[in-house]
Amino acid sequence: MIDIPLNDRDLSWLSFNHRVLRMAADPQVPLFERVRFLSIFSSNLDEFFRVRMPALMALHHIEEADTSLLPAVQETIREQLQEFGQILTGQLLPAMKAEGVHLYYGETIDAAHRKPVRDYFYNTVLGFLQPVIIELNKPVEMFLENNALYLVVCLSNGKHGIVNIPSANLPRFLRLPDKQIIFLDDVIREHLGFLFPHTTITGCYSIKVTRDAEIDVDEFSGHLLEKVENMLVKRQLGVPTRFLYDARMPGDLRDSLAEYFRIAHVELVAGGRYHNLKDLAELPMWSANATCTYPPMPAVPVAALEGEGSLLNVIKEKDVLLHVPYQQYDYIVRYFNEAATDPDVKEIYVTLYRVASGSQIVHALISAAKNGKQVTVMVELKARFDEANNIRWAKRMKEAGVKILYSIPGLKVHAKVALVKRKRGFQWDHIGLLATGNFNESTARFYTDHVLLTAHEGITQELELLFVYMQTGISPTRYNFMHFDNLLVAQFNLTNRFTAMIRREAENARKGLPAKIVIKLNNLQEKQMIAELYAAAEAGVEIDLIVRSICCIVPRKGIRLRRIVDRYLEHARIFIFHNNGEEEIYMGSADWMNRNLHRRIEVCFPVYDQVYRRQVRDIIDIQLADNTNAVILDAQIRNIPVERKENEPAVNAQKGIYAYVQQC
């Protein structure tokens, strides 16, 4: 094992989520966007409890394991939740009220609003409620669904009621007259006497259970599709990882509920009056003040692609590199639409990891199959939390005649690639699409990514080779004859090539030559790659890293580490190696995580066109110059704001890149 200094992955992720939380506290961020950042923080934390907390709890009980980690994580979360409450109640709710938007937050409902609340309860909400009486000294008789909301109602007869809050079926918030808003929870609280008659209500507290989402599909027998469908059912029945309760709840009631629902003490987490505050993203807002939201940044058209002719013909003649969402994603949809209807297109190949629920791209693939084209789609059924959507689309495509490949045993296919084969006379055209992000029109509006459209012979031939491999599903070790000279493909050459490029920079530094590496990632955790970066820095290589989320490397001399959290989610992966002036630039789907490099099929692709190489360098330079939203990560994974020098102009990377692409 390599013994190198590393930051903990979970604490580093919590540092990222804290940066999201600080955006909600930033007065420079528009008010309603600050509320949205609170929602993102809450949603992120829910996923952390579903995915990472089970592993931390298991590790905590292993002999000789670091038993200080779980308490450190829990204390960090506790502090962040306390800050969350202070930001919401101390800053945002008063600021919203000043804008004329009032959210009832544990307050008595005004007399003028009681009738609309009452009408909504009886006419709409009541039919979704399933109140249950429980006796805490008797065996458990009910099951709390994952991340569902409940009210625990204390009754004067010594029993307790449990009422579901049907936020999965109804809006979490009710609009009232005069720009007033009330939680669905409080609509129900106001009418508990109807649900529990013939007794007195002595208390009411909100609770929520979060359950383990990490289910291994290898536990199940049968075909992969059946395995994943079974997994989705089992996930909802997973063991608890968090019992979130209203901190005002009496301690004896909390302990009795924990025993009744078989909740361990370590899973108890105190919260506020309301849970699932990711629903703040649905909060109705009214304001004539345009400063309450981000100003519009409409996606920029690309002049070379705006003609009436065929997009595929344009790509055949020259590479196109798109920077989304700054530039229009419509061209990607058009690529698939043209391929589906062009009579000369005979074959289409594509990998799908996360697609939109109403995906135009998938509809185009279905049309292509119905138009008689050979369409092959690798659908990754193991894309966490998107499994059900992927299963639904896979079945629809298969019914239409699309050849569906259901993953590869032991591997996830995380690559974002497509290939169109067009035959004109005796000549075949190969037109490829390679991206840093998913083929998803919905997330493309707020994820920053790059998409290469190319007919480069070497790249497209290697794409075809990769799809040949994916159709067999045999271990990569059986494919020694497969060589990728242009593409970097995990399981084949990706780690070796990245390692070689890092070591080349180190050797150049030792020779006294210029040596520099710039890498932008979502996550950096893989130990061997971090060790290579440490060694390169010691040799004198200047390394700039932009890492959005998990970051286990410890900054030191020669290694500068930044994080950018802003309007858009920074999602692209970019790798730039100076190579003594013969710069090499790659983009792709691969973070430097154990899972990406060792348990997935990933593809990184070169940028050969000199115009686009200049654009990529310029975009990275703008991000490295950000002195408004960028933060420096120190050795303790703290987010340290970039200090702007006196008279230095403010640079916001995302605004700067938007202005830049308008000139491209």
Does residue 384 have a known ligand-binding role? yes
Does residue 548 have a known ligand-binding role? yes
pLDDT at 381: 79
Query: What is the residue-averaged pLDDT of the chain?
Result: 92
Is 414 designated active site?
yes
Q: Mean per-residue pLDDT for 408-435?
A: 93
Give percent of the chain above pLDDT 70.
Answer: 93
Question: In whole angstroms, how far apart are CA 652 and each of 545, 576, 658?
Answer: 17, 22, 10
First to last CA, the chain: 47
Domain ranges (residues) in the chain: 1-100, 111-282, 311-478, 488-661
Tell which wins on pLDDT, 220 or 655: 655
- Judge whether 1-100 and 111-282 match in fold: no
Question: In whole angstroms, how far apart are CA 298 and each of 305, 326, 327, 341, 440?
Answer: 17, 8, 8, 29, 18
**Which residue's entry shows tokens 């009232």?**
176
pLDDT bin (cut points 50, 70, 90) of residue 539 is very high
Q: In a 10 Å sphere around its CB, with 0-12 CB exposed, 13-18 middle and 19+ buried, how is residue 513 labelled?
A: middle
The 3-class secondary structure across 350-400, one letter per residue, is: EEECCCCCCCHHHHHHHHHHHCCCEEEEEECCCCCCCHHHHHHHHHHHHHC
**8 A C-beta contact, residue 23 and residue 30:** no
pLDDT at 60: 80
Q: Mean per-residue pLDDT for 427-455?
A: 97
Does residue 334 have a known ligand-binding role? no
CATH number of 311-478, picked from 3.40.50.1470, 3.40.720.10, 3.40.830.10, 3.30.870.10: 3.30.870.10
Does residue 354 have a known ligand-binding role? yes
pLDDT at 217: 45
pLDDT bin (cut points 50, 70, 90) of residue 189 is very high
What confidence tens digit (pLDDT) does each residue in 266-315 have? 899 999 999 999 999 999 887 768 889 999 999 999 998 998 789 999 99
Least confident piece of the model among 54-58, 526-530, 617-621, 627-631: 54-58
What confidence tens digit (pLDDT) does each residue in 362-374 have? 999 999 999 999 9
pLDDT at 230: 57
Residue from 564, 525, 527, 571 nearest 546 by CA: 564
Spatial separation of the C-alpha atoms in residues 646 and 468, rounded to whole Å: 57
What confidence tens digit (pLDDT) does each residue in 6-31 have? 999 999 999 999 999 999 999 999 99
pLDDT bin (cut points 50, 70, 90) of residue 336 is very high
Tell which wins on pLDDT, 288 or 450: 450
What confidence tens digit (pLDDT) does each residue in 114-157 have? 999 999 999 999 999 999 999 888 877 678 998 999 999 999 99
- H or E stretch including 658? helix 653-661
CATH number of 488-661: 3.30.870.10
3-class SS of residue 457: helix
Q: Does the pLDDT of residue 410 top 90, yes or no?
A: no
pLDDT bin (cut points 50, 70, 90) of residue 380 is confident
pLDDT bin (cut points 50, 70, 90) of residue 54 is confident
Does residue 571 have a known ligand-binding role? yes
pLDDT at 169: 96
Threshold 0.75, pTM exceeds: yes
Regarding the domain delimited by 1-100, which CATH topology (the fold level of the hierarchy) does it fall under?
Answer: Methane Monooxygenase Hydroxylase; Chain G, domain 1 (1.20.58)
CATH number of 111-282: 3.30.1840.10
Q: Mean per-residue pLDDT for 173-182?
A: 94
Does residue 406 have a known ligand-binding role? no
Q: Which of 160, 414, 450, 456 is catalytic?
A: 414
pLDDT at 222: 45
What confidence tens digit (pLDDT) does each residue in 459-497 have? 999 999 999 999 876 655 566 667 899 999 999 999 999
